[in-house]
Structure 1
Amino acid sequence: MPPIYAIGDIHGQKDMLDNALSLIAADGGDDAQIIFLGDYVDRGPDSRGVIDTLMQGQAAVRPWTCLLGNHDRFFARFIREGRQHDPRVKSGLNWLNPRLGGAQTLQSYGVVGQMHFAEQQFGDEEKLVHCETEAGWITPEALIAAAQASIPEDHIAFIESLPLWHETDHLLCVHAGLRPHISLEHQDPEDLIWIRDGFLDTNHHFGQLVVHGHTALDHPQHFGNRVDLDGGAGYGRPLVPAVFEGRHCWTLTDQGRVPLTI
């Protein structure tokens, strides 16, 4: 069987994505099967370029499978509904806070401004007070309207169409992880894009090797029952693609394959 390639959280790092795709093409050709593990937007400088690249690849009928990440859904919900928070963010941070990266995503679409937040009380959701633009201060409602007018409808529709998982004979690919002892069809969709506790600390054998992102490391790592491919591109660390042959895994570098083992 041909190898399967996977790319972890991209977080708006278009240049890193281009490099990862070049490494994959050098190893497996232009028609390599690639699984993208979600979190295409936020924090990095060119979320729009990342989405464009993924959409173009699928339009060209490349064998690319793009999964949904929590940051992608955050972005889509902000545009559709104006939602700035998610109950899974225990800190209550606003999606527009630089730590989550929503403002950087909007900037890549030409919606530029300095976000000003109210002083956050412990346990409260962080509240956007206004956005400072070149034309002056605008309200949160005006910012949402500007974003809705600037983000292409097909970008949001693309995100809303993304599946939560992808299976092969040997791999189960998902953005964040899954809960042990629960069948795939009965998993909570929220867990599939958000889970850490109960997944990262389990030695449970899921049948297939779980390939995921979401939890940023310094470099992709193999844990035996799972492989975490989020190497921290959202924080400026390299985006490292991987290749799988059965359950065997290698990362890809300019010098070729490097085994990724337990």
Structure 2
Amino acid sequence: MFYALGDIHGQMAQLDRALALIDADGGGDADLYFVGDLVDRGPDSRGVIQTIIDGQNAGKPWHCILGNHDLMFHQFVTSAKVLHPEILSGKTWLHHRLGGVRTLASYMGATELDHPGWISWDHANEHGLDPASDSLLAAFADAAKDAVPASHLDWIAALPLFIKAPHDHIFVHAGIRPNVATDDQAQSDLIWIREGWLDYGGELDAMYVHGHTALDFPQHHGNRINIDGGAGYGRPLVPTLFDGAGWFTLDDNGRTPLHP
């Protein structure tokens, strides 16, 4: 038996609730898989990462995959990168819809982010980075380097792109390119893919469990399971589990089967 959690997106209170539900189900010592996107949009990305690190350091069998938001956070702090070609709208990681500023606030404090020039830059750059603001961007990246613990950056950098789990399950953040061997998948597909994956109804070499594309509730699609229930948009973080025979979701009333 093992448990899994979808995209958390900085929602520390939801993570606490989900872990309590897993404990109540008897899974406190069971394997738990996180499918990435731990940060952005929610108020406490720092707390989410620290909670998972602390659990692993305490010996809990917790396994985590790299999500695209985790990668964007790491790349901003280490290289001030905010533009990503996979974001077709041209919005930067710091745009309010992507939520990077809220992640920085959890490390730096909201007061430091109240700089008038920064607020103006954040709201004005809806479709990409204005080169005239490079110096301001660099200043905030430098401030982030001072605020974000190296242990968090090192931990994110070491996260795998997929994890093979028992009973022919594979955990991945976004999905895969169908008909390409798992070990040959491109990073950009594993953490960003939608087109060619979400509409694929054919057989796969394993049951893929993923997040990335927010739903109203986890859904079993037959050949894949999407467990991103939209916590990044204010919906509950729903724990899921596989008992060796079938999939379930967890809530205050216990288990509910998750059927295709």
TM-score of Structure 1 vs Structure 2, range by shorter chain: over 0.9
Match of 2:144 in 1: 147
SS at match of 2:212: coil
Q: CA deviation at 1:126?
A: 3.7
What residue identity is the alignment partner of 1:84? V
Superimposed CA distance per residue, residues 7-37 of structure 1 (whole angstroms, 9 cap, x where no aligned partner): 0000000010011111111113321110000
Query: How far 1:116 moved relative to its partner?
Result: 2.4
Q: TM-score under structure 1 normalisation? A: 0.91
Residue of structure 2 equivalent to 1:127: 130
Sequence identity (%): 48
The one-character-per-residue Cα deviations of 1:189-244 (angstroms, maximum 9, x if unpaired) are 11000000000000122122110000000111111101101010000000001001
How far apart are the structure 2 equivalents of 1:48 and 1:172? 27
Q: How many residue pairs get matched?
A: 252
Counterpart of 1:98 in structure 2 is 96
In the alignment, which residue of structure 2 is the partner of 1:134?
Answer: none
8 Å contact 1:209–1:247 — kept in the other structure? no
- Aligned pairs for 1:193-204 within 5 A: 193-204=191-202
Determine if contact 1:94/1:127 at 8 Å carries over to the other structure.
no
Instruction: Report the AA paired with residue 149 of structure 1.
Output: D
Amino acid at match of 1:110: M
Is contact 1:78-1:84 (8 Å) kept? yes
Gaps of 5+ in 2: none
Paired residue type of 2:120: H
Q: Is the 8 A contact 1:218 1:237 kept in 2?
A: yes
Q: Deviations over 1:71-128 (max 9, x none)?
A: 000000001111011110111111111100000000001243253237558xx62438
Say which structure is richer in helix.
2
**Any unmatched runs of 5+ in structure 1?**
132-137
The one-letter amino acid paired with 2:148 is: I
Q: What TM-score results when the alignment is normalised by the length of structure 2?
A: 0.92
What's the secondary structure of 1:227's corresponding residue?
A: strand
SS for the counterpart of 1:34 is strand
Give the conservation status (yes or no) of the 8 Å contact 1:116–1:130: no
Aligned to 2:31: 33
CA contact (8 A) 2:80 2:137 kept: no
- Give the aligned CA root-mean-square deviation in angstroms: 1.8
